[in-house]
Amino acid sequence: MRSKGLALPVNILVIMIIVVIVLVTLIAVFIGTSGQNINTTDANKIFAQGCQKYCSSASLDEAYLSSYEIAQNDKTFLNACISLGYGTTEYPIKCLDTCGCDTTATREDINRRMQQLITKMGNT
């Protein structure tokens, strides 16, 4: 008789654990995909607006700073870019490249940046 009294709470406990696991899984799925499901029309509009915003400067340095800003602060533009197949979360600079921003580093750009870094390190 005692085992029946104990069996009911154990069964309820097992069912509750399963329900909690299912709920946690569902929440993780919804949080993981939220913001990435965007229709193509909206994605194109957001992408075009972002291109105008981020490609206004012809500076290579500005393009890379914009890429960092996109990755950190503009998830809407990044999600639109990804949903259109233009870029990834790891390489948001590909979004700017698709926009037509100048993202190509020449040997002169690299040398100039190296000189700036050397000068900055010498001043500290």
pLDDT for the residue numbered 49: 92
Point out the least confidently predicted range of 27-36, 97-106, 115-124.
27-36
pLDDT for the residue numbered 65: 79
What's phi and psi for 89, nearest 5 deg?
A: -65, -30
Helix H or strand E segment including 32: helix 2-33
| Residues 30 and 53 both lie in one domain | no
| Residues 13 and 72 both lie in one domain | no
Point out the least confidently predicted range of 2-6, 28-32, 45-49, 53-57.
2-6
| Residues 23 and 73 both lie in one domain | no
The average pLDDT across 38-52 equals 90
Confidence grade of residue 1 (pLDDT, cut at 50, 70, 90): very low
| Residues 46 and 30 both lie in one domain | no
- Enter the tokens of residue 105: 């580093």
pLDDT for the residue numbered 33: 52
| Residues 3 and 48 both lie in one domain | no
Measure the CA–CA gap between 119 and 107, rounded to whole angstroms.
18
What domain range is 104 assigned to? 40-123
**CB proximity list for 19: less than 8 A, separation 6 or greater:** none
* Beta carbons within 10 angstroms of residue 79's beta carbon: 19
| Residues 28 and 85 both lie in one domain | no
